[in-house]
A = this chain, B = another copy of it.
Amino acid sequence: MTTQQLVSEIRKKKSFLCIGLDVDLNKIPAHLLQEEDPIFAFNKSIIDATHHLCVAYKPNTAFYEAYGIKGWKSLEKTINYLNEKHPEIFTIADAKRGDIGNTSTMYAKAFFEDLAFDSVTVAPYMGKDSVEPFLAFKNKHTIMLALTSNQGAFDFQTLSVNNKELYKEVLEVSKSWNNSQNLMYVVGATKVEYLADIRKIIPESFLLVPGVGAQGGSLQEVCKYGMTDTIGLLINSSRGIIYASNKEDFAEAAATKAEELQSQMGSILK
């Protein structure tokens, strides 16, 4: 998917919502556990109930890997279902990968070719030659960690290097990498006061923003400082939507929560 197609979907749906599919068997409604593939059954219901309210879905690979081959099958069924039923929706493999060159190429093939995701999240610590193999894929997007939403973000990401915080150096340096037009960045909503500075470095890139809702970030504040002429934001909500109810009405409850966010986004986009 091209960035233009993503922006066009956002305008059509009046939504820049991304729903995180972080499925934990201990948290889904009990009646689903009798299904042959409870994780996929849960995802399918959530997707069927919310696809008109969001522009992206983001399974975090950890939640699938934790269930071994069964989990990997559920992930494959989920991405295949999305690509078949809703090809207009942007898909994100939240995998936070990164390795030396030939190994990163293997990861890129896993997520872009084998699973056919539109994008994958990567970690910056190993530098340019660990990220460029992902950037080489046409019409695929590489979403690099910049400033994450957790407390540990302050351990290294905000340390001062070259008279600026490390995450700013990461943003700045990455602009010079081959095919950097395929980069997006993770910036947590819990650090909204940093967004104005971030936009000085990357005025147009899309940001994937976790931390609205459950982790305390404000949608209005994120948009005030982070939104661009072509939107430039994907706001992720996971637990706040998919676990809105753990009863038989879980999908409707998820839709209600997604609609609340979509409606706020609709007002902001006016």
Contact = CB atoms under 8 A, between A and B. Distances in A.
Interface in A155-174: 155-157, 159-162, 166, 169-170, 173
Given A68-B114, A126-B145, A98 B101 contact: no
Nearest to A60: B103
A124 B156 contact: yes
Copies of this polypeptide in the complex: 2
Contacts of A65: 106-107, 110, 114
A148 B107 CA distance: 18
Pick the most buried of A62, A130, A153, A161: most chain B CB atoms within 10 A of its CB.
A62
Contacts of A22: 103
B156 A125 contact: yes
Contacts of A103: 22, 60, 62-63
Interface residues of A, number: 57
A72 B66 contact: no
Interface in A164-211: 166, 169-170, 173
A97 interface: yes
Contact of A60 (B63, B98, B99): B99
A104 interface: yes
A149 interface: yes
Interface of A: 22, 24, 60, 62-63, 65-69, 71-73, 76, 94, 96-101, 103-104, 106-107, 109-110, 114-115, 123-131, 145, 148-157, 159-162, 166, 169-170, 173
17 contacts: A62-B97, A62-B107, A63-B103, A65-B110, A68-B72, A68-B114, A69-B69, A96-B126, A100-B149, A123-B125, A125-B125, A126-B153, A127-B156, A128-B151, A130-B152, A160-B162, A161-B161
